[in-house]
Structure 1
Amino acid sequence: MTKIMRSVRSFTDIAELHDAETQASDAFATAFTETVDGFRIDVGEDAISADLPDPLMAERATELMVATIFDLMRDTRLEGIADRLAWQIVHAFHKAADQLDNEADRAAQKIKELIRSADGSEIGTVELEEAQTVCQSLDEAREAVACMRDHAAGVFHAETGRPWSAPRATLVSGKRTASVVDGINFLAARRQRRIEANAPQGPVVIFSGGQQWHDHQQLWDRLDQIRARVPAMVLVTTAQAKGCDAIAASWAASRGVTLVAMTLNHRLGNRAGFARNEQMVKLQPVEAVVCEGSGLQSHLARLVRAARVPAHFFRCDGQRAAA
């Protein structure tokens, strides 16, 4: 099982180490906080009053699920497939979180429909309150499962040196009862949380490169230098599953840097990659890293130069290209 070794030089260090080993991380403490009374994820179900799992136990159990696979198979003839099994464990959390997310979206849509048809009746009010409870319960469950997925992905990265990546997934004001107003406020708050989660704030550094790349250290070193200048940076990549983008994703995971993977809009056909480049430059990046690859990287390099973005260019042969 993967462990982080720390040196202890004082009683303060001992206290901090004890706290770290007996308290859940901030991510688990937040994700495993009850947000709704009478939890239920289906209108037809009875409400559940039980608590969420203990955050520290959830964190340790998640780590054990992944790390134990590697411990079991290390130095055996099955060692080579440990990463495949561990990947599937992380994927199971990812799939469950995605399903809960979709169910929560449908529940939110149901709330919108009930708000539009609200007539002030007791039956309508009860239906709206039940729909909101279901939506909030699904959101709560999704946050807990997604937190476990992210931690499992972190253990997978620690064991393999590779980041885990998922496979290619107006209101009527005249009838507003207190329940309707509460529902409107709930949807607004939920929408804002989604916006903040998918559009993290911070100076943007864009990154793109080819799918064939071997010298990861030079890219890690350059990203470390950029992060030293821009500590709150958000790294935006072109979302390739291998090569330069995978190296950048691994770096971001190891440094705790927020990563935004810009996927292609396939409805744009052959222009999808070029449109993504234009969208990345419109983010007003403070710096850019472009590695030799295809015509898409050449196009991005031209856009970066035209926008006068401070940039770092690398060639496949390990030499830094002229800026």
Structure 2
Amino acid sequence: MIRKRPASVERFTDLKTLYAEAIATPEFQTVFGDPMPLSIIEPGDEPGEHDMPEPIAAQAECGGIVAAIFDLFTGTRLEPFAPEIAWGIVNSFHFAAGKIERREDAIAQELGDLARRPDLSEVYSNELEEKQLACRSLAEQRDAIECMRDYAAEMYRALSGWPWSPAKGSRASSVSIASQIAVQDFLRERQLVARERHLPQGPIVIFSGPAQWENWQPVWDRLDQIKARLPHMTLVTTGQRKGADAIAAAWAARPGNGVPLVAYGLYGAGKKVAFNRNRKLVELKPVEALLCEGSGLQANLYQLLRKASVPIHAFRKGEAEIPAGALRRPGAVQSLACAA
């Protein structure tokens, strides 16, 4: 971790600025700084006044765990493995948050069952209050773990150069700005509208490109331009962990960007899976699309998007953006299908 040299205090008014730099970010203050008066740590425990870790300590230690791996391995023969181990550290927070969420959902279901068969007895009232407190306690614990996961993920991105994403499932936190959402969750919640933190609300922009792609700057510039027009956009990629999709994911994960990212990977088996995925991408009714020259999948997606009258920004490998007029000429679609 890069640590700044403490600034000197030249006048009394500097203390306010220095104090602001020393305290935790608003996300950690929200989750760790104002805990519930009573909470239940483990199932079956009696309610008690249990403290939360201090916000600044939670933030510092969480980031320090990830940074320590890079500090230890950098410049040694173990350096190539630092991102893999750091990824696992972030994933451990994600795994723990998932376990807590499943317990929380189970108790919430029990609460619903109790509410549907009311009872005027004292035993019923006590059970209802205890389960409600247990559910709220789990939600508080999950928020804390997710907050640490998101901060550790940001530290991973800063040190490795690539955004962290889970091996499976969704990453969506009520206390973080960016979210990465697995497509199965996205489609299910888009239909049910059951949990708002898993449901991107903004206009959809489709992104697709090959697994081998290095020219990131033009892509980022064009995404910046699109976001300037669509500040509440949701970016949907084809879910590859490297190449063009990883470049787009890194753009969405930049601090302050606040762009939800839907990783629309391949699900199922068979030769038609990828082409069915392209069709489903178009069914999301995107308002714009950005394609990088790659395989026949990009050419097929281009054809479907154009048929749906979706504005397309296209880039050739190693070159500038393809002019809009060129995309309308015969053979333009084939140019997108050049091997990566």
Q: Taking structure 2 as the reference length, what is the TM-score of the superposition?
A: 0.77
The secondary structure found in structure 1 opposite 2:254 is: helix
* Aligned equivalent of 1:178: none
CA contact (8 A) 1:274 1:299 kept: yes
Helix, strand or coil at the partner of 1:258: coil
Which residue is 1:156 aligned to?
156
Structure 1 counterpart SS, 2:206: strand
Please state how far the C-alpha of 1:62 moved relative to its aligned partner.
0.9
**1:293 to 1:106, Cα distance in 2 relative to 1, 3 A:** farther
Q: Give the 5 Å matches for 1:268-287.
A: 272-287=273-288
Tell me: CA distance 1:29–1:285, structure 2 relative to 1, closer, same or farther (3 Å). farther
Shift of 1:151: 0.6
Question: Relative to structure 1, is the Cα distance of residues 117 and 298 closer, same or farther in structure 2, using a 3 angstrom cutoff?
Answer: farther
RMSD: 3.1
In structure 2, C-alpha distance between the alignment counterparts of 1:15 and 1:211, rounded to whole Å: 50
**Aligned in 2, Cα 1:79/1:319: closer, same or farther, shift over 3 Å?**
same
- CA gap of 1:50–1:77, structure 2 versus 1, over 3 A, is same
Distance in 2, matches of 1:247 and 1:201, equals 23
Q: Partners of 2:17 and 2:210 in 1: how far apart?
A: 42
1:206–1:288 Cα contact (<8 Å) kept: yes
Q: Distance in 2 between matches of 1:53 and 1:144?
A: 10
Instruction: Please give the alpha-carbon distance, in whole angstroms, between the structure 1 residues aligned to 2:33 and 2:119.
Output: 34
Q: Tell me the distance in 2 between the aligned counterparts of 1:3 and 1:247.
A: 27
Equivalent-residue separation in structure 1 for 2:98 and 2:155 (angstroms): 20
Match of 1:109 in 2: 109
Tell me if structure 1 keeps the 8 A contact 2:35–2:52. no
Greater share of residues in helix: 1
Instruction: Give the CA deviation at 1:274.
Output: 4.4
Q: Secondary structure at the match of 2:166?
A: coil
Q: 1:196 deviation in Å?
A: 2.3
Instruction: Name the count of aligned residue pairs.
Output: 299
Identity %: 43
Is the CA contact (8 Å cut-off) linking 2:236 and 2:264 kept in structure 1?
A: no
Q: Which residue of 1 aligns with 2:258?
A: 257
The aligned runs of 1:79-98 (5 Å cut-off) are: 79-98=79-98
How far apart are residue 97 of structure 1 and its match? Answer: 1.0
Structure 1 CA distance for aligned equivalents of residues 308 and 100 of structure 2: 41
Distance 1:236 1:17, change over 3 A: farther
Tell me the CA shift for residue 45 of structure 1.
Answer: 1.0
Which is worse superposed, 292-301 or 78-87?
A: 292-301
Match of 1:175 in 2: none
> What is the CA–CA distance in structure 2 between the aligned matches of 1:96 and 1:238, rounded to whole Å?
27
How far apart, in 1, do the equivalents of 2:130 and 2:32 lie? Answer: 22
Where in structure 2 are the equivalents of 1:38-49 lying within 5 Å? 38-49=38-49
Q: Provide closer, same or farther for how the CA distance between residues 80 and 268 of structure 1 changes in structure 2, counting only shifts above 3 A.
A: closer
The C-alpha deviation readout for 1:155-197, integer Å capped at 9, x for no partner, is 111111111121133xxxxxxxxxxxxxxxxxxxxxx997221
Work out which structure has the larger RCO, using CA pairs closer than 8 Å and 6 or more positions apart in sequence.
1
Check whether the contact 2:66–2:89 (CA below 8 A) recurs between aligned residues: yes
Query: How far off its partner does 1:77 sit?
Result: 2.8
Q: After TM superposition, list the pairs within 5 Å mapping 1:170-319 onto structure 2.
A: 195-255=195-255, 256-264=257-265, 266=267, 272-319=273-320
Letter in 2 for 1:299: N
Is the alpha carbon distance of 1:32 and 1:280 closer, same or farther for their aligned partners in structure 2, counting shifts above 3 Å?
A: farther
Letter in 1 for 2:209: G
Q: Deviations over 1:200-230 (max 9, x none)?
A: 3333322122222222222122212222333
* Paired position in structure 1 for 2:120: 120
- Which ranges in structure 2 are unaligned for 5 or more consecutive residues? 170-191, 328-340
C-alpha separation between the residues in 2 aligned to 1:244 and 1:25?
32
Deviations along 1:7-48, whole A, 9 cap, x unmatched? 99x99x967752542222122122225464421154411223
- Residue pairs, 1:127-146, within 5 angstroms: 127-146=127-146
Structure 2 counterpart of 1:316, one-letter code: K
1:266-317 deviation digits (Å, cap 9, x = unpaired): 3686655445444443444332112233444333322322232222012335
Name which of structure 1's ranges 23-32 and 133-142 shifts more when overlaid on structure 2.
23-32
Further displaced range: 14-23 or 128-137: 14-23
Note if contact 1:36-1:133 (Cα within 8 Å) is conserved in structure 2: no
SS at match of 1:207: strand
Give the 3 Å change call, closer, same or farther, for CA 123–229 of structure 1 in structure 2.
same
The change in CA–CA distance for 1:298 and 1:15 in structure 2 (over 3 A counts) is farther
How far apart, in 2, do the equivalents of 1:265 and 1:117 lie? 43
For residues 254 and 3 of structure 2, the distance between their equivalents in structure 1, rounded to whole angstroms, comes to 15
